[in-house]
Amino acid sequence: MYHHLEPDGAPITPYAIPAGVFATHLEVLRSAGFVTLSFHQLFEVLEGKRKRPAKAAVLTFDDGYESFRTLALPALVAQGMTATVFVVAGAIGGVNHWDLPQGYPRRALMDEVALKEIVAAGMEIGSHGWAHRDLTACTESELAEEFVRSRQEIRDCLGIQADFFAYPYGHYSRSYFPLLERAGYRGAVTIFSDEPTVTHARYAMRRVLAHAGDTAWRFRLKLSPLYLHYVAWRDRKGGRGNAAR
Ligand SMILES: [Zn+2]
């Protein structure tokens, strides 16, 4: 899971990875024999409608930064790979306003034209909610805005169905699962999760954070089944998943 990419040589800021490090990750994936899948494709595999690749990864980018279009997209296209971008539907063409009170840098988000460009290049779009709120602090009507209005906006703006949702800050509750299903989503991704495997609960799929310090060998380690078992064990033991039920 990625957020923002910085041009090589720029100072490293929170939640950012240099473009060169991201290119290294793609090179590691390619040389290790991984193919990338969208969530739609992953679900086709799970439903037996698509052949299961020997090694597959779903790459995700949260928030929908302009840096995805300028830095990540060319690297992905060069490798013949795809990613899923979770956009904040109420901030298309805006900035990461939710980060500013914490003192994080102001970053441009993709506008409608940029999003259409990445869709045309084969990227998948998911919803990251309407206003990037911590859902566990939301009222019922705010939750509806995050789940229903965001999906509606993506449909109106881009003419596509967002079938997958990414919880802002990874905070979620099991009580959201039926709300998401009713809103038309087929799955949702978090960061930490109590679930034993990534796809055990379709509305709480765990992701692995990619860091600026993930060198080729560290990234390779993170791709191993052993590492996935380790994070599953760690999240269950530490009670990090399902912070709010
Ligand atoms: Zn986010």
- Residue 245 confidence (pLDDT): 39
- Residue 241 confidence (pLDDT): 58
CA of 52 to the centre of ligand 1 (A): 30
**What's the Cα-to-Cα distance from 143 to each of 95, 133, 157, rounded to whole Å?**
21, 9, 21
Selection from 160, 180, 16 nearest residue 89 by Cα:
160
- Residue 240 confidence (pLDDT): 67
CA of 159 to the centre of ligand 1 (A): 22
Binning pLDDT at 50, 70 and 90, where does residue 237 land?
A: confident
For the chain, which domains are there?
Answer: 4-238 (3.20.20.370)
CA of 16 to the centre of ligand 1 (A): 12
pLDDT beyond 60 at 243: no
- Residue 193 confidence (pLDDT): 86
pLDDT beyond 70 at 167: yes
Binning pLDDT at 50, 70 and 90, where does residue 196 land?
A: confident
Buried b (16+ CB within 10 A) or exposed e, 136-160: bebeeebbbbbbbbbbbbbeebbee
- Residue 11 confidence (pLDDT): 87
CA of 77 to the centre of ligand 1 (A): 24
CA of 47 to the centre of ligand 1 (A): 29
- Residue 232 confidence (pLDDT): 87
List CB-based neighbours of ion ligand 1 within 5 Å.
62-63, 168
CA of 86 to the centre of ligand 1 (A): 8
Q: What angle do CA 101, 206, 87 make, to 5 degrees?
A: 45
What pLDDT, in 10s, does the model give residues 115-147?
999 999 999 999 999 999 999 999 999 999 999
CA of 167 to the centre of ligand 1 (A): 8
CA of 61 to the centre of ligand 1 (A): 9
CA of 1 to the centre of ligand 1 (A): 11
- Residue 242 confidence (pLDDT): 53
The mean pLDDT of 65-74, rounded to a whole number, is: 98
E-only strand ranges, 53-205: 56-57, 60-63, 84-87, 124-127, 164-166, 187-189
CA of 119 to the centre of ligand 1 (A): 20
CA of 133 to the centre of ligand 1 (A): 9
- Residue 13 confidence (pLDDT): 86
CA of 154 to the centre of ligand 1 (A): 16
Selection from 66, 63, 238 nearest residue 168 by Cα:
63
CA of 207 to the centre of ligand 1 (A): 13
- Residue 244 confidence (pLDDT): 44
Binning pLDDT at 50, 70 and 90, where does residue 239 land?
A: low
Average pLDDT of every residue of the chain: 94
- What share of the chain has pLDDT > 90, as a percent? 86
Q: What sections of 32-94 are H helices per DSSP?
A: 39-46, 66-67, 73-79
Dist CA 119 CA 157 (whole Å)? 12
